[in-house]
Amino acid sequence: MKRIFSGVQPTGNLHLGNYLGAIRNWVRLQQEFECIYCVVDLHAITVPQDPAELTASTREVAASLMASGIDPDQSILFNQSCVPQHAELAWVFNCVARLGWLNRMTQFKEKAGKNRENATVGLYSYPTLMASDILVYKATHVPVGEDQKQHLELTRDIAQAFNAMVGEDFFPLPEPQILGQATRVMSLRDGSAKMSKSDASDFSRITLTDDADAIMSKIKKAKTDPEPLPSEVEGLEDRPEARNLVSIFAALADRDEAGVLADFGGQGFGVFKPALAELAIEKLSPITGEMNRLMADPGYLDQILATGANKAYALARPIMAEVRQRVGFLGSSAG
Ligand code: AMP
Ligand code: TRP
């Protein structure tokens, strides 16, 4: 049986990278499989957060997911901190994972930056919590963008080490699902940097709250080179900014890059950028509209998340109880 789990951090607005790399795939998977989607607030506090902003962002991300097509009746949608088994299993995994494994994690190195001594212990052990998010449901498939591949490999290592420790195939080895034409959307200002929530420049990303004018002006100002678009995909090599815009077009239009270049090869960005902006506006503005509608009713969003947390808890609790028993903990978690 396939069970899908994925998560997104409630830190700022969701952007086109989140949407094309992850969320759109989440929406598609829910037609076929049992899906659990989580707003990972425990992960968010691995770096300093303003409490009121964290609360608001949690609602906002939930609204974006629903506006993008996540159906809370069909899938489970909740915020991580409401299901204590995530943190409970993460502790067990902290006692399974080795320093050497975590020392290899590139996301920690990027996020901690030069001042590593000042990073929180939580940021360092972020990947063990992520492994527990997935495995506390014995999820088998994890749709994510390419940047999460290494964390998924670590999740498999942890599952394997735990299984070896207890002498049985207790956890499945979950598989990453890196799907679509835009698994790594780059910054609009720099084709060598990932589009991210934390980039200082608002012009580096298109967010799900941007209106049509903002989308048009961000795409028109996007960094490019002076050459026209090539007619073949090979011609995009060494042209990271051009490649990024073409792959965004392909993903939004549900086509491949070759098809897009068959239409636009030989054209300059003066033609391509407005066409891309129109397409982005057509695909994103219904989501933005629905998101604003949902955000106007925070009570409703809170109720959706609370219902989702109860469903998630019902799945996580018995699995955690089995873990406790395997490890040798006496009794059961209170509550
Ligand atoms: P985060 O915002 O870091 O919580 O990421 C949520 C999801 O979006 C994860 O599955 C990421 O892999 C995906 N993601 C984030 N940034 C990008 C990007 N620039 N391109 C593609 N996927 C992304
Ligand atoms: N680390 C992921 C990110 O930043 C978010 C995340 C947390 C996640 N737990 C997860 C993704 C479990 C997939 C599965 O993008």
First to last CA, the chain: 29
Average pLDDT value over all residues in the chain: 96
pLDDT in tens, 12-55: 889 999 999 999 999 999 999 999 999 999 999 999 999 999 99
Could you give the strand order of the β-sheet that contains 3-8, starting from the edge strand earlier in sequence?
Answer: 76-79, 34-39, 3-8, 141-143, 175-177
Concerning whether 111 is annotated as a catalytic residue, the answer is yes
Give the CB-side neighbour count of residue 22, counting CA atoms within 13 A.
24
pLDDT of residue 13: 85
CA distance 157 to 71: 32
Cβ pair 319, 291 in contact under 8 A: no
pLDDT in tens, 56-99: 999 999 999 999 999 999 999 999 999 999 999 999 999 999 99
Domain locations along the chain: 3-184+297-327, 202-293
Q: Does residue 1 carry a pLDDT above 90?
A: no
Cβ pair 38, 6 in contact under 8 A: yes
Quote the ligand 1 centre to 238 CA distance (angstroms): 23
Q: Is the pTM of this model over 0.85?
A: yes
Concerning whether 311 is annotated as a catalytic residue, the answer is no
CATH class of 3-184+297-327: alpha beta
What CATH number is given for 202-293 in this structure?
1.10.240.10
The ligand 2 atom at the shortest distance from the C-alpha of residue 40 is: 7
Any idea which residue has 């080490």 for tokens? 161
Query: 333: pLDDT confidence band, cut at 50, 70 and 90?
Result: confident
Concerning whether 2 is annotated as a catalytic residue, the answer is no
pLDDT in tens, 160-214: 999 999 999 999 999 999 998 899 999 999 999 999 998 999 999 999 999 999 9
Q: Does residue 300 carry a pLDDT above 90?
A: yes
Quote the ligand 2 centre to 317 CA distance (angstroms): 20
> Ligand 2: residues whose CB is within 6 Å?
5-9, 40, 43, 130, 133-134, 142, 144, 148, 151
